[in-house]
Structure 1
Amino acid sequence: MDNQLLIGKGSAADSAQQWLLAKYGNRHGLIAGATGTGKTVTLQSLCEGFSDLGVPVFAADIKGDLSGLAMAGEVKPKLVERAAQVGLANYVPTIYPVVFWDVFGTQGHPLRGTISDMGPLLLARLLNLSDVQEAVLQLVFKFCDDNGLLLLDLKDLKAALNHVTENAKTLGPDYGLVSKASIGAIQRGLIALEADGAESFFGEPALDLEDLMRQDMTGRGVINILAADLLYQKPALYSTFLLWLLSELFERLPEAGDLDKPKLVFFFDEAHLLFTDAPKALVQKVEQVVRLIRSKGVGVYFVTQNPLDLPDAVLGQLGNRVQHALRAFTPRDQKAVKAAAETFRANPKLDVSEAIQQLGVGEALVSCLGEGGIPGVVERTLIRPPRSRIGAITPDERKMVRSRSPVGAKYDTAVDRESAYEKLAARAAPAAADQAPAATPSASQGGGWWDAGSATPAPTPSPRPAARPSNRETVFEAAAKSVVRSVGSQVGREVGRQLLRGLLGSLTGGTGRRR
């Protein structure tokens, strides 16, 4: 159907198909389950379904398996059998329109953002700064805003930090005191960030959000796949980058209200990394974005192993849910099973707590919003098979797909325009010239006192300073000084003794006894 996508069909003979209504696709969702239970295949099937509806998709690909969307699948007996079981008509291997992105620019088009777009809050999270250090970073951003200094890449921020440090006294009355220790902590964080390879992310051309919301010539939504196998190894960079992208969508897209289908669907894989050791202010920002970005026409789907990985305030916003198997081996696992079961609308025919632990690979508990936004009754469901290839594509195939991309010419070449670094360097140049000592005219420059044609009078030579006495002395001088010191010492001691005798005599009356 044109207004919904098929997720699967109940495993019981009398079960109905499970559909996700397109008009509720922006009500967010959750795909959860233990490792190896089929989350990635479910994610791939949902990407296909949204693309068929003309909805663009953005998904992080941690293991490389989602790259198979760019190639047609194979007609295998198990897949054909599953397609028949779930009622998937016209199961034909299909190639989907895919654009590959990569923060590091190796497995896809470089995906860049500027320091200014990131902002001090997310950058502080990325640098693991304290509250005081974050306040100093905000001060630097404010100074750059007030003085028209663009912060585009890391060298711009470094130059701004150095400038603020060197001019801390003059900036103090307007911006407050700047701690050199805090500046040093920020600078050390930037060095660590560079070591993680984040330098390639900050810069231009920055991502244009419109390039994520494209359709191909047949009207299918483009599937944007972020190569995250390397990025995932830097958890702070991975989670902060995806949160930045969500924040950009939230801040730049206009209000859209309720649409027939979303403008964009965003899949956030390994979502628990977003909330691990996150400060309270950052968690609040995530909650705000998830709660309000729905009205911008964007649906956010969190993919994680355990529903307890997400805060309750976020979990309560997720209307469409696909829960794969969970293993209750530990008390925490048992708690997760119970929590997952309680979040579904109860089905009198199904013991959800037991079913979660008995689900097979490619099987899940599904509950989506029905008409009126009412959660559907949870059903044990066989997930539909993908039409595209299951598994990763080869490097040559990825290269071929990238060469056909409509946005390659726009993003593959970096741009470095005038920004804070260049402007501060230009300001520092005249000051450095004023402080430098005047150069002595050389013969090749002319103008010297020997130049007869020069209008400048020859400088008067300064008088030669008196010869400095030598630090070394002759043997006779040393001997003479020794004799003088010896005589002086003896005379001094004798005079001292005479004075002492006279003083004692006056006190004792010459008898040596005190009166």
Structure 2
Amino acid sequence: MWAAETIFLGASRKPDDSYQESEELLLRYGNRHGLVTGATGTGKTVTLQVLAEGFSKAGVPVFCADIKGDLSGIAMKGTPQDFLLRRAEEVRLTPYENAAFPVIFWDLFGEQGHPIRATVSEMGPLLLSRLMNLSEAQEGIMNIAFKIADDEGLLLLDMKDLQALLADIAERSKEIGGRYGNVSKASVGAIQRALLVLEQQGGNHFFGEPALRIQDLMRTTQDGRGAVNVLAADKLMMNPRLYATFLLWLLSELFEELPEVGDVDKPKLVFFFDEAHLLFDEAPKVLVDRVEQVVRLIRSKGVGVFFVTQNPLDIPESVLAQLGNRIQHALRAYTPREQKAVRTAAETFRPNPDFDCATAITQLGVGEALVSVLEAKAVPSIVQRTLIRPPSGRVGPVTSQERSDLIARSPVAGQYDEAIDRESAFEVLQKRASDAAEQEEKAQAEEGGTKWTLPDFGRNKQPEEAAPKRRTRTGYDNSAPRPRAPRASNRQTVAEAAIKSVVRSAGSSIGRALVRGILGGLKRGF
């Protein structure tokens, strides 16, 4: 049995093909980060489960993404199967006990776990621009939007807050341009269209409140085991940009919120990046620099980061240099790029004189890996060909009913299930627009401005009041014709007709004289 300050990974293979010495990961170097690589089907997921179980048993909380659903089985007690028992015997794991581990299921869409939400403000303009694939000019407007929100005290919580703020910026573009820089309405429109696409991809489920509290990822049970936070990522993988941005946001939040602890006996939290290449695909340099900075500095916060991917070339060299613990499963070397990956992986290990590392990588069986971890004084160990130990939890996914039961009994049940919509930028800007419209209407009324109305053409004519009945000798009767009021006469007197005739004649004479003068001048000109 391994010591309490280590995680038992498996047994190393000797030249006589026997597995004798155990390979262990020192807990005090668990925050020096790590890398698990290998081709599809070589055992990466089982290795990830073994690491998660080891950290949990040591009292270290874990966060990991479950891409295919297989990792969820860690929540259930495993069943003794022949191939697992044989593996335990080969690596001299005695006694081999099956056990379930404390799991909290999470899901950005709230379908297979507790919803995970973040506010727009927490995400920030850089990650949002990356998420929406904005151009440099559009990213500049996004930075202006966040600056205006800070200056005007506007809370940016969900997507409708950001949409309302962008619409307000477009309306005030001239006013804003003089203070913050040029704001193009076309660029604002492009950002709004990108937000619409993000909303249709499920981004509206992620942005909002209640926002995730980092402390809920760092829970431990009464018996001292660390919680295993499993993120359901099968649907999330349909939008890899959202997946990568979320994971980077979570790392950034951990870096900003956790205190400095320096070197510790064991990590405060271990974070597994499965399908890590999605984080760096087509990422701009500023984002890669951000990842490198977080990975380099978060160690002092007591957080370990393990990248899990198929090819070591998926990780930038600047990040790869920060990873001290390495587990390399088999790689295929059929293409030039794959051959380069094999050479790169072999060169990163401390050589072992008993075998050629590059050749061994292509010959590893399922469940075998080349392992090099940090030993005393953080020196990398000589690489060993290692058979990974069998996990204690179930190998395979949980059922839908088992997942539902675990979610219902979760320590965070009911805390994140219902979204909260409090007053924020959307409501404030809506009220501001309403108040401005009322003030304008009031000002027009005070100035006595002209009121324009549409003709009704008799459609809205009110029924006339009943005419008072005329009294006759026999009573009241309205049937008789009513006497008409005298009309004003249009007939002209003799004097008026004479005066108008003179005026018309004089006007005609003057007009003819003017025309003759003009035409005569034109004729003389030719």
- Deviation digits for residues 151-174 of structure 1 (CA, Å, limit 9, x no counterpart): 010011011111111112222332
Question: How do 1:288-307 residues align onto structure 2 when only pairs under 5 Å count?
Answer: 288-307=293-312
Question: Conserved in 1, the CA contact under 8 Å of 2:324 and 2:373?
Answer: yes
- 1-structure distance, mates of 2:19, 2:422: 64
Partner in structure 1 of residue 414 of structure 2: 409
2:4 to 2, 5, 9: 2
Counterpart AA for 1:96: F
Question: Conserved in 1, the CA contact under 8 Å of 2:19 and 2:90?
Answer: no
Counterpart AA for 2:297: L
Question: How do 1:7-18 residues align onto structure 2 when only pairs under 5 Å count?
Answer: 7-12=9-14, 13=18, 15-18=20-23
SS of the residue corresponding to residue 366 of structure 1 reads: strand
Q: CA deviation at 1:500?
A: 7.7
Partner in structure 1 of residue 156 of structure 2: 151
SS of the residue corresponding to residue 224 of structure 2 reads: coil
Counterpart AA for 1:86: V
- Deviation digits for residues 326-380 of structure 1 (CA, Å, limit 9, x no counterpart): 0000000000000000000000111100000000001100000001100000000
- Listed as ranges, the gaps of 5+ residues in structure 2 are 446-450, 453-511
Partner in structure 2 of residue 361 of structure 1: 366
TM-score, scaled to structure 2: 0.84
CA shift in 2, pair 1:427/1:360, >3 Å: same
Question: Conserved in 1, the CA contact under 8 Å of 2:10 and 2:24?
Answer: yes
1:277 to 275, 279, 282: 282
Percent of aligned pairs sharing the same letter: 60
- 2-structure distance, mates of 1:378, 1:136: 50
Partner in structure 2 of residue 193 of structure 1: 198
Range with greater deviation from structure 2 (375-384 or 418-427): 418-427
Counterpart AA for 2:360: A
Counterpart AA for 1:304: T
- Deviation digits for residues 358-416 of structure 1 (CA, Å, limit 9, x no counterpart): 00001100000001100000000000101111111111110011010010121111111
1:131 to 130, 136, 147: 136
Question: How do 1:353-502 residues align onto structure 2 when only pairs under 5 Å count?
Answer: 353-436=358-441
CA shift in 2, pair 1:498/1:387, >3 Å: closer
1:61 to 59, 66, 75: 66
SS of the residue corresponding to residue 370 of structure 2 reads: strand
Counterpart AA for 1:37: T
- 2-structure distance, mates of 1:30, 1:409: 35
- 1-structure distance, mates of 2:106, 2:369: 30
- 2-structure distance, mates of 1:290, 1:251: 13
CA shift in 2, pair 1:283/1:502, >3 Å: closer
- 1-structure distance, mates of 2:182, 2:242: 30
- 1-structure distance, mates of 2:325, 2:118: 31
CA shift in 2, pair 1:497/1:232, >3 Å: closer
- 1-structure distance, mates of 2:437, 2:524: 72
Question: Conserved in 1, the CA contact under 8 Å of 2:369 and 2:386?
Answer: yes
Question: Conserved in 1, the CA contact under 8 Å of 2:11 and 2:19?
Answer: no
1:229 to 234, 237, 241: 234
Partner in structure 2 of residue 97 of structure 1: 102
- Deviation digits for residues 283-307 of structure 1 (CA, Å, limit 9, x no counterpart): 0000000100000000000000000
Question: Conserved in 1, the CA contact under 8 Å of 2:59 and 2:224?
Answer: yes
Counterpart AA for 2:161: D
- Deviation digits for residues 441-500 of structure 1 (CA, Å, limit 9, x no counterpart): xxxxxxxxxxxxxxxxxxxxxxxxxxxxxxxxxxxxxxxxxxxxxxxxx99999999878
- Deviation digits for residues 153-209 of structure 1 (CA, Å, limit 9, x no counterpart): 001101111111111222233212211121111111100000101101001110100
CA shift in 2, pair 1:347/1:175, >3 Å: same
Aligned residue pair count:
456
CA shift in 2, pair 1:503/1:260, >3 Å: closer
Counterpart AA for 2:305: V
SS of the residue corresponding to residue 299 of structure 1 reads: strand
Partner in structure 2 of residue 81 of structure 1: 86
- 2-structure distance, mates of 1:203, 1:127: 17
2:119 is the counterpart of 1:114: yes
SS of the residue corresponding to residue 414 of structure 2 reads: helix
- 1-structure distance, mates of 2:522, 2:230: 103
Partner in structure 1 of residue 504 of structure 2: none
Q: CA deviation at 1:502?
A: 6.9
Counterpart AA for 2:362: Q
- 1-structure distance, mates of 2:95, 2:155: 53
- Deviation digits for residues 45-84 of structure 1 (CA, Å, limit 9, x no counterpart): 1100000100000000010001001111110111011112
Counterpart AA for 1:305: Q
